[in-house]
Structure 1
């Protein structure tokens, strides 16, 4: 998690420049630790079938300008913490993740679109801690009784 291989999803989301991440082929990605995104990133699963499954989820924390589109996130579980890189120049010690499919924490300008989520240990999507300008559109939520947690101070647009 400290030195992701170039060309992987984990490598792409930590880059310091705007990046539109697409996939050459269909795949299932099992994250051993949470995937922490840097600002100005798009994860675009259109044209292929991309699953983030049977491991940790996606964390959008204190960043802006994030789009997550056209992927399936399922069977997300709590995973051990450890040293995880969140940018090219920084990594840090993370505690145990809670099992959210997508965790949005103190972030702004986040759009989650055409994402299917199900079977996550905690919430499917959490948008908390003064996250603002969050849009969740055209998503499918299945097999869960705690779909979304929204903090009281959030600006939230549609489902």
Structure 2
């Protein structure tokens, strides 16, 4: 009887510890947003895509952000660099990594894309805030950076397509 109590106690403790451990990962998986630093190891490993893990640190003061946006569903992974407004090193890194700067962008920033039409990297410079924002946007549907007007002009047509 005493041994069965010890076994049941041990099982209950292991189950409780496992549940607590799993809960923290489940909580991150269903989070709408997060703000963290590189020292927050669990969040950094879970939320941060490789492109941001390897991006040059252009300032000693930076932090990461994550947002799960519904609507047209998208995930946004970002790094904010403070005390700088020079993004040239980041632009060189993106180009060397195979990204191409797009002729237009859906926000006031430089947009970069590789082969994946669902991923857009935006690099925004905010001189008045002395900040550079790099965001990896993962869309559920492909995003076209060029408008129909730009595509028509590129093909030599002078009339916009509808």
TM-score (norm 2): 0.24
Counting helix residues as a fraction of each chain, which structure ranks higher? 2
Compare CA radii of gyration and give the structure with the larger one: 2
